[in-house]
Amino acid sequence: MIGGKSMVTRRSWLGGAAGLAAGALMAPSRLRAEDAYILGTLFPMAGPNAEYGTIFTAGAAMALKHVAADKMLSRPLVLRAEDSEGTPQGGAVGMSKLVNVDRAVYVLIGFTGVSKAAAPIGARAKVVLVNGGGVGPDLAGLSPYYWNVIPLVPDEIKVLVPFLMARKLRRIALIYVNDPFGNGLLKSLKGDLTAAGGEIVAADAIAPTDQQFSAIAARIRTLSPDAVYFASYGAQQAEIIKQLRDAGISQQLLTYSGATIPSVRNLPEAEGLILTNQAADWSVDDPITKRFVADWRAAYHTDPTTYNQNYYNAVRLFALLAQQLEKSGKPINGDNLRAALLATRRFPLVGGEGVFDDLCDISMKIVINRYQDGKLVPIG
Amino acid sequence: MLILQLLVSGIETGALYALTAAGFALIFGATRIFHFAHGATYALAGYAFVLATRLGWAWPAGVLLALVVAIAFGLLLEAAVYRPIQRHHGAFFTVFVAAFGVVIVVQSLIELSFGRAYIAISSPLTRAHEVLPGLYVARVFWLALATAGVIFAVLGGFLARTRAGIGLRALAENPDLLRAFGLSARRLSALAFALGSALAVPGAVLGAMTTGLSPGVGAHVMLISLAASVMGGIGSLRGAALAGLLLGIVENLVVAGLDTQWSEAAGFVALFAFILFRPRGIFGAALVR
């Protein structure tokens, strides 16, 4: 028994020492997580739209570095990533985890369907969601805690339609993805085009996973439209372009800002594609833009895209708002962030001064571009 | 003319479906292994061809590389995954989960190596030209037809007239009897995987040119192969080939009368119809218990 007691005591000591050691090791990281501002990202990180997730995250990551280097905040900013898979289901699950488990105070989000699923969860928890990638018309005023740092597709359509009318491209065939974004775009395009004297001669809805478009191309060819507008995402856009061109569709192809990604840009068949996008002038002289562009070129040996810019701006916006709140001694939460945004409205961001409206949406100039030799060339 | 155009598109799509589905059916028919990673073979072969193209290799060398990669992958899976599971009398579900895991690993490896973006090979073969007023046909259509025709003729001859081919057909029926005739069930199983994996290559190479590739392409391919195998009759090579062709044609023709969203669904409506009204498939034998 004495020997047994001695064994238990030794084990207890050893166990206690191990527990203390583990506790000592764990404590700093727990402390850090509690002290940090948690920024969530809810991007597609796998599947056909994963390309967007990589692009979005890169912009946010660079902003995090700059915020830390400038010591803008008293606490560190920590990123917690959740994969939305680009689907509403993924958005709802990811947002619940970011809110309830990670305790994120500010979440970066993209994609219309994902946003519509996650916004109610953010509104309930009063967690701000900032969109820099989704452009569906419904995203304006989705909730008081849902902000846009990207112009939405109705703004793009408003600029495109007069351009089409001026070029006598009146009869448009539309291929659109059957989801909240695609349906919203159909409504916007149909309304603006009809009002301007044009018409939609065909509206083919596709599933986000479709890969075969030769049948749609055959049908479109029989209708002889003046141009073909497609509204899809990621890899599917390149498939649509290639298959339309392969099927002998020689009409002008049109699309929106979603096509500013490498898989479209690098596709030979995308030459001549006309697309609308927010204006991006990387040669402007303000120090914030210059630093962003210089660091981007140094890191990636290429120019940034507007998606990189938007998510950089989303993180920078948080830093600017949190900085204000820290100075005034207010806690960082959804209500205070929103109040600070609406009180200030104008922020120094990449691309110039960002101005927000009552719905907490940024306003930006839209330009019409054409792909020439793999580069976006403004044409209107 | 629209119907004729859709029929042409359907035959082109269907010929590629037929080849890929036949590969799956050959493996399942001979070994009774539910090779869910057949879609991953397709993806690997396609990306191998893309790699060869990027390296500036001539297309025959690219096709050869795709063949080597596909066959090596098939053989590796057979030896390192399926055979050990079978040795331990693993259930059907174990095989399925193992294959599913392999699919995920392959997809991740492709994403790491080639990125997550869509990749397509631009080729003059895929550019359609007007052959009749309103009818556009690309050279890849004739190539797909010819490839499928030649491969099925050669494969049919091999299975019907060679000792190994007959052995493959017998493997699923009675492996013990095979041994009595001095044939190795293990070698025949490896042969089934090699041949079945090789059959994914034409679809992968031509698919890389026509519809393009993305890391997740294998899932769609597997779905089509599975549907074609059920419609054609489980384990029936010619059944899977015919059903693959039919699926391609149905997917395209349905667009003439219905919304394009019904395109893929129409193929699966046909699958349900088979399950309900002819569960043994086109060429499948009725099972008597």
pLDDT tens digits, one per residue of A230-267:
999 887 899 899 999 999 899 999 999 999 888 898 88
Return the amino acid letter for B197.
S
Q: Which residues are CB-contacts of B174 (< 8 A; sequence separation ≥ 6)?
A: none
The CB density around residue B253, as the number of other CB atoms within 10 Å, is: 19
User: B187 and chain A: CB distance < 8 Å anywhere?
Assistant: no
pTM, rounded to two decimals: 0.78
Q: Which of B122, B125, B210, B214 to mutate to test the interface with A (most CBs of A within 10 A)?
A: B214
pLDDT computed for residue A363 by the predictor:
87
Predicted ipTM?
0.74
Band of residue A10 on the pLDDT scale cut at 50, 70, 90: low
Spatial CA neighbour of B35 closest among B81, B72, B68: B81
Residue A266 and residue A44: Cα distance in Å, rounded? 21
Return the amino acid letter for B137.
V
Residue A192 tokens, joined = 């603006």
User: B129 and chain A: CB distance < 8 Å anywhere?
Assistant: yes
**B76–chain A nearest CA distance, Å:** 26
| Residue located via tokens 């979603």 | A258
- pLDDT, average across residues B25-47: 92
Q: Which domains does chain A have, with CATH numbers?
A: 34-151+283-364 (3.40.50.2300), 154-281+368-378 (3.40.50.2300)
Residue A316 and residue A57: Cα distance in Å, rounded? 14
Return the amino acid letter for B11.
I
- Interface size, chain A vs chain B, as Cβ–Cβ contacts under 8 Å: 109
Specify the 3-state DSSP secondary structure of A380.
Answer: coil
Q: Report the helix count and the strand count for chain B, using DSSP H and E.
A: 12, 2
User: A47 and chain B: CB distance < 8 Å anywhere?
Assistant: yes
pLDDT computed for residue A215 by the predictor:
87
Residue A84 and residue A118: Cα distance in Å, rounded? 10
Chain B residue with Cα closest to A212: B211
Contact B21, B31 (CB under 8 A): no
Specify the 3-state DSSP secondary structure of B32.
Answer: coil
- Domain range list for chain B: 2-277
- Rounded to 5 degrees, what are φ and ψ at A292? -60, -50
Q: What CATH topology corresponds to B2-277?
A: ABC transporter involved in vitamin B12 uptake, BtuC (1.10.3470)
- Interface contact A215-B255, CB threshold 8 A: yes
Residue B87 and residue A217: Cα distance in Å, rounded? 50
Specify the 3-state DSSP secondary structure of A348.
Answer: strand
| Sheet of strand A171-177: strand arrangement | A199-206, A171-177, A227-231, A252-255, A274-278, A366-372, A375-378
Q: Which of A47, A48, A268 lies at the smallest CB-CB distance from B122? A: A268
User: A110 and chain B: CB distance < 8 Å anywhere?
Assistant: no
- Rounded to 5 degrees, what are φ and ψ at B41? -60, -45
Contact B31, B173 (CB under 8 A): no
Q: Which residues of A touch B129 (CB under 8 A)?
A: 248
Spatial CA neighbour of A324 closest among A307, A337, A334: A337
The per-residue pLDDT for range A33-87, each reduced to its tens digit, is 558 999 999 999 877 788 899 999 999 999 999 999 999 999 999 999 999 988 9
User: B210 and chain A: CB distance < 8 Å anywhere?
Assistant: yes
**B20–chain A nearest CA distance, Å:** 16
- pLDDT, average across residues B212-237: 86
Residue B23 tokens, joined = 């590969």
Pairing of strands A352-356, A346-349: antiparallel
In terms of DSSP H, where are the helices of A196-305?
Answer: 214-223, 234-246, 262-265, 287-300
Pairing of strands A362-363, A352-356: antiparallel
Residue A324 tokens, joined = 């204000």
Q: Which of B11, B118, B221, B254 to mutate to test the interface with A (most CBs of A within 10 A)?
A: B118
Q: Residue A277 carries which DSSP code?
A: E
The per-residue pLDDT for range B94-118, each reduced to its tens digit, is 898 999 999 999 999 998 898 877 7
Residue A73 host element (H or E): none
Return the amino acid letter for A111.
F
Res. A31: pLDDT tops 70: no
**A357–chain B nearest CA distance, Å:** 35
